[in-house]
Amino acid sequence: MKRILLSALLCAAAAAASAASDAPPPYAGDVPAVRETMPPPARRLEPKPASEGMQLAPSEADMKKAREDRERGIVPKRTNDKRTRIETVRDQDNRVTEYIVTPGSTKIPYTIENQADRPIDTTPGGNPSGTLGTPKFIEFGW
């Protein structure tokens, strides 16, 4: 009973102490704004003329620059590549031993073994018609 009373008194005292200090924490407002210390951007885009409006289509200047870049052999990078890549690993006899699949959404590759040289699995629960193994989503290496 004494323990319950003591803990109740301690809780009440802590609540009263926290209610008494309505002032902001000591660090609030002491830090200068981040924008003031940031340097100006290294490159600014030039605004489009008002005659072009808010069009999404490239302007003549954009097309001219693209043609010049193509003539020089400069290829623009694709930053938002969401395509799934499927690669094959072959042995010395040029037979596919495994497939490496990299989904475009997660970019986390997984492998599937090609088991064409093994007998087809006819056990219950097995895959009697396929030659691909179970996908390895996680691979541990030491």
Determine, yes or no, domain membership for 130: yes
On whether residue 45 sits in a domain, the answer given is no
Specify if 129 maps to a domain.
Answer: yes
**Mean pLDDT for the chain overall:** 75
Mean pLDDT of 41-45: 76
Q: What is the pLDDT of residue 2?
A: 66
Residue 115 lies inside a defined structural domain of this protein: yes
pLDDT tens-place string over residues 49-59: 777 667 777 88
Provide the domain limits for residue 97: 84-142
Indicate the number of domains in the chain. 1
The pTM score is: 0.38
Segment 26-36, tens digit of pLDDT: 665 666 655 56
Cβ 117 vs Cβ 96: under 8 Å: no
111 lies in some domain: yes
Q: pLDDT band for position 79 (50/70/90)?
A: low
**pLDDT value for 87:** 92
Instruction: Specify the pLDDT at position 20.
Output: 56
Q: Is residue 136 part of a domain?
A: yes
pLDDT for 64: 92
b/e burial code for range 84-123 (CB count within 10 A of at least 16 → b): eeeeeeeeeeeeeebbeeeeeeeeeeebebbbeeeeeeee
The answer on pLDDT for 69 being more than 80 is yes
